[in-house]
Structure 1
Amino acid sequence: MALPYLLLCSSMLLLLVGSNWKAAARTVPVEYLYPPYNLTYFSFVDTNGVFLRSPNATFSAAVYGTSDDTQTRFFFSILHDVSRTPVWTATAGATLLMQSVLLSLTTSGLALTDPYDHSATWSTPAALAAPVTALRLLDTGELALLDAANGTLWSSFHDPTDTLLHGHALPVGVPLTAAVSDHNLSPGAYRLILTATDALLQWQTSTNGSFVTYWALSSDAASVQQSNRTVHSMMVNASGIYLLADNDIDTVFTLLFTDSSTSNKLLKVDPSGRLRALSMASSRTAARATLPTVWAAPVSDCDLPLPCGSLGLCTPVNNASSCKCPGAFSTHTTGGCSPADGSALPVPAQTCLANNASSPSSEKAAPYSYMSLGDDVGYFGSKFAVPVTADDALPACRDLCSANCSCVGFLYKNSSGSCFLLHDQIGSVVRATTDVAAGFIKTLQPPPSSPGHGESSALSSITIIFGIVLPTLAAVVITFLLYVLAVQWLKKRRGGLDGGKKKKKKKKKHGRHGRGSSWFMMMSLSSSRASSNASSEKGGDSEEDDDEDDEILIPGLPARFTFADLEKATKGFKSEIGSGGFGSVYRGELPDRTTVAVKRMNNLGSQGRREFLTEIAVIGNVHHVNLVKLRGICADQSRQLILVYEFMSRGSLDQSLFLSRSSTGANKKNVLLEWSERLGVCVGAARGLAYLHAGCDRKILHCDVKPENILLDDRGGVKIADFGLAKLLSPEQSGLFTTMRGTRGYLAPEWLTNAPVTDKADVYSFGMVLLEIVRGSKNSRLLQQQQPDEEDTGSTSSDGRCGGSNYFPAVALEVHEEGGRRYVELVDPRLEGRANAAEVARVVRVALCCLHEDASLRPAMTAVAAMLDGSMEVCEPRKEQLAYLRIYGRGTVAGGASSSWSAPSCVSAQQLSAPR
């Protein structure tokens, strides 16, 4: 009897415990949780981690556990209750331990607490507007802290993670960041970000915040553009995705799902980097099924950054893909591919750090070589990237990568000559049949392997001593002896030639023109001035000092000329080819028969010297086919400041562009520019500016872009010149505040409002230049007094009048607003219709985009160059960003017309900087 009685008692006890567990499971709070409330592992061990449900049990708040082969992680998450799909996660990567107090709700907010030191690993903002009275979970998936009046103090919608829920508007600039994996909900490398014009999927390639775009909603085949307004927010519902305009009425883009169900949808960026729309329709009696995907982008695996690991070759196969390594690469043990010859891939962060730590005297180029990925490859990142150069040779593209420590490879398209640099981290490449490129990866040769440790040390010492040190010392001694003998011979020769008299002139020198350091240049100039001053103070001859100074050569500097050299080259500075407030430019001929342009600075004040040094610092360090070359400098004891440039036979653009009818053809050099030549000028000048902005180690702002500073030659060469007002930005600078610099008629609005000035100021000036190239005259007739006989046959607008003359940018805007059918009417009437209508439309639209009042909405110069040469689609000018042109044209700003900036509307030819 004892045994059956014991079994009965045990059964009743189990039933009682089971009923208590079920009762506990049924007592999960619904919608509200009130402080103070401490949640521990034992509080919800029998509720699968759930501690709060929404009213209809659509969503639940839980401590969510995930497991993989290595460990189990726990996260505080909001889940779609039936599918257990996380839609929001509170932690920033910390793994929770299921011990002690995990989650606490107080009147100060919600916090996750470390069980060991009781410090908060995550919490809601510390300074809430009022005490917390409740935690609320809605059927929309929103978790919110409420005050006594049910006002929201904090919401999970304010800080989304990887999911956009129905009814939640995602604002511009707030990202959805994918999780590392399905088992690790910490933030990963992929994100969806909303901009003022589009929604983009991006891959973070470095820890410093560099992102590469690989999908845009506007480029999706299912998207439809409905408005040109600025994007304000993004929403998803049962039917599709919507980018809403800033007026809360219009829709900028719509993307409709093919799924016809009326169930709500959510958008999630998954760990692979794909954006998915998931249907929330599911049966509550069904097992924990994954939410079905109704739409995904990008469609092809090969359009993702890492479908085959780093450097893996992805080949599309029907609706799937296959992976292998390119021919010269082999599978790496950690995934992806690596060079089969054992060479190493450089680590950009370490390489840049090493380069920055190097002194100029000891800095040496890294022993880079390049390994080919093949000639028929594509890369996900190049679809939305702007090439750093276009219509250039492959070696130039390679040199740009070699000069950039963060560059790990490059793509070169033979069809367009476009160059794309790959920075920081390389994704997979794809086998392509269209838009193909040649891919090259930067590699470092591994150090040679050595024998045993002891043998290696001894062998290395012997090799160093007998193979390197002794031959080097011998070479140095021999060179020194030869040098001494040569000096003695020269001195004897001089003594014979001069009859024992002291020399009164320095020996002429012509150094090599090459890449140099602006710091060395300025130090050289300063030392030159100091030595001349010291000589004059001594009052005696300084033959010995001068001779020693002549022996000083700083590698990389332009040639150093004496004043006498250039006086002879220019025949006494008689052949003047240009002049301005800075001084004059003369044509000269060097002893090697090279024709040069000699720029003699007349303004010797502090501003003149500053512009002189700026010009050397900028143009002496950059080399591009569309930037004028600095052949040499002169800064001798006579305090003459002279720059020597390559000679451009057709002079500046304004001389060929702003010709009156009577002068056309009068000067053979200044013949009328045909349309094809004008388009070439547009493209060449854009590429030169793009190089200054994006191709140099330091971003350079020209600050005075105008036709007078664009030079031409008889062979179609186009070069940007005059860098006296240029500004060099350090890597950490994005903008600058500075005194106004530039020329009226080309000044961007931000110069006049004390707003931060960036490279977009050059973009604005270039937009003005583009319109002048199209029309063949100054944008405001009052700015060009030398064209009294030019007839105005272009469109007129009462809104575009400026003191009785048409303000051409306002006329161009009016033509654009009419649908662009009359673009060709804007062309210089002297061309008599000899212009390609499609090319004219392209140039005018690009120019208007450059003139957007908001600098952030202007395209970068790299994009401008790509749009002008046809390798990139032209952006759509935003009419609301160009309305100020009418006010500028009417000349009513000073009269109180509303505008976000104020400028003199109708101005004379007087400039803020002198003519250049």
Structure 2
Amino acid sequence: MLLIFLLLSSIFCKAIAQHSIISPGSSLTPTNISYWSSESGHFAFGFYPQGDGFAIGIWLPRIQQATVIWTANRDDPPLSRNATLILNTEGKLVLQQRGSEPKFIANIPKPASSASMLNSGNFVLYDSESKIIWQTFDAPTDTILPGQHLAAEEQLVSSISNKIHKSGRFALRMRRNGNLVMLALEYPLQRDYFYWISQTANAGDNVTLNLDTNGLLYLLDTNGKNIRTLSDGRTMFDQAMYRATIDADGIFRLYSHNLDRYSNWSMEWQSSDNKCDPTGLCGSNAYCTVVDQVVACACPSGFDFIDQSQKNLGCLPNSSADDCLHIKESSQAFNELEGISWKAEPYSTLPSSTKEACRQECLKDCYCEAAVYRNQQCGKHRLPLRFGKAQEKPSMTTFIKARVVDLGMKTGASNRKKELRTRGILIACTAISTLVSLALVIFGILFYRYRVWNYKKITSQGNDELFEDAILRSFAYDELKKATNNFEDEIGRGAFGTVYRGVISNGNRAVAIKRLGEVVAEGEREFRNEMKVIGRTHHKNLVRLFGYCHDGSNRLLVYEYMCNGSLADFLFRSEQKPAWEERIEIALNIARGIVYLHEECETQIIHCDIKPENILMDEKGSAKIADFGLSKLLMPNQSRTYTVIRGTRGYVAPEWHTNLPITVKVDVYSYGKMLLEIICCRRNVDLNVPDDQVVLASWVYDCFEANELDNLIQDEEVQEGKLERLVKVGLWCIQDEPSSRPSMKNVVLMLEGTIDIPDPPAPPSFSSSNNDTTGT
């Protein structure tokens, strides 16, 4: 009995010695970098420096090359010096900062009785029965340690860098089907975007990634069988520590360390020998190269980095190809790249015997912005090109279309301009002083008389023609309240406010008065400036703004009255669908109106909410665009803008949900969605139709691919060529990549039949939703 007691006591003492117990009431602060250590001293849990503050995590304090293996709330801002980490008497592991609410580090089902930093590198919380109720091994960040595993649907996410441990761009994910895959987080979770796959699909639902104490990295299936070994587990050290980490560059590596304080980590295995393999490492239009073992991103000739300080964001062309239809072939050239591969699907592939023949094919095609020649095949592409990287054995040539600038002509024109400028200065100096004053006086008198004359005509005569020609008028709130009979005749509601019917100009003029919510500039001056911009937009396919009211918190707009409701009423609520030719004319009218907003009015305007409800019909059945200018305006010295998501669900372009620039192409996307609705006289999404027709855009593409466009317009007689043309335009407009969508000017030319339309590719969003990825 005594022998058994001594044996049990020895076992218990050894178990206790494996880790130190942390009791309720224990706390840490960033001062002097305090931490809770494992019994061996190899692992520490507590505060460590990060950026201009601190983070909470697990690291190895005895190794000179500090290595963080786990971070709590890794994407939170750095912590200040006044932070405190405490295992409180209520059994919660809590972070407290002065002036902030307490934050839990661990979500636990019941109070913890103690905690411990184990020699395995696992920090755990125990309940009153000494059972683990929470552990860091269940919530890995970018690293797993021996004894830890990665289960189905769990992932490791890389850090931004070796020093900043916030979530980075790449992930190692254990999929439910048994495949271990690597991907860039910004791209969809489907096989086309994986840059490394374990090829262990169909091995069961519970495959796990494991690392043992000998450095063996392997996959186990549901029955505990080793289905793939990634590393052989051999090392030159007699005693070593191991970790497997997805590094900031997107490569998964196994490291070993001999526990000598002054030694470095040794790499035992890596998922790829090519540092350019991670998908999207250099962003769109850029390509990845490795120089002296260092990864570098480069732009093709004719392109510039979006941000020189963040080259991984990609490149943009430094000239536009939107107006290629008006450029002679002789004035275009190609920049040529050898040995760069791209992971991008061409919209057209054709046999080509030589590189020169491929270049000519792209030159003849206005929509071809790049051509890739390989193995006597020529692939024609729209920009952007994606996932470019240098090939070890060059076998691919890329031609990227560029515009030639005649430097001789440019220099000569510049010299002539300088000569004329010098002469003109002498003449101008003597003339300006005498003419400016006189011109200002005359202009002031005429402008004043013109405004007074117009105002008198509007208020006293009620003449409609004079009303149309007058400058934008400022109305009093009481005047509009009276005109709408105290805002009783409501005729519509929208994203920007409520619309009422009113009568002004001595009862002779019906108008639509929109009462705005808080959607425009708050100051009176800013509001008036926006109204002036809208007031200067005059086009037969735009609803005319007559005036506005800014009276305290009351902001109202006075528009021409459109008696036939909206296009939505016309298409979806009318008992009889509009005739086919009528629909074509409506589509053209709307496109011409958007062209005016984008390219022809004084201040370029992005509408941001093109949809049938914002297209109004006048007494002649003509379509006019409403609510333009109420979203953010694009000033002439800007080419793009970032802003919060605007628009209506179902018509919003994909770039609103990413960090891509917002340009006029968001209106092209919305127009494309609406054009398909005009063609089919039905909503974007309709749950009252067969399952394969619920999403209109997807169904339209399926019919186009199957050459069954007649299914879209049953019981209607239309010319097949016209129907196909409109469908092609709609499908090009809703491409996910903004650069793949045509400009609205080209949309009008396509609709009119002026230019040929190549077959559109399937927008990636369709293929994503339809792809069966269960095997990857």
Scaled by the length of structure 1, what TM-score is found? 0.41
TM superposition score normalised by structure 2: 0.47
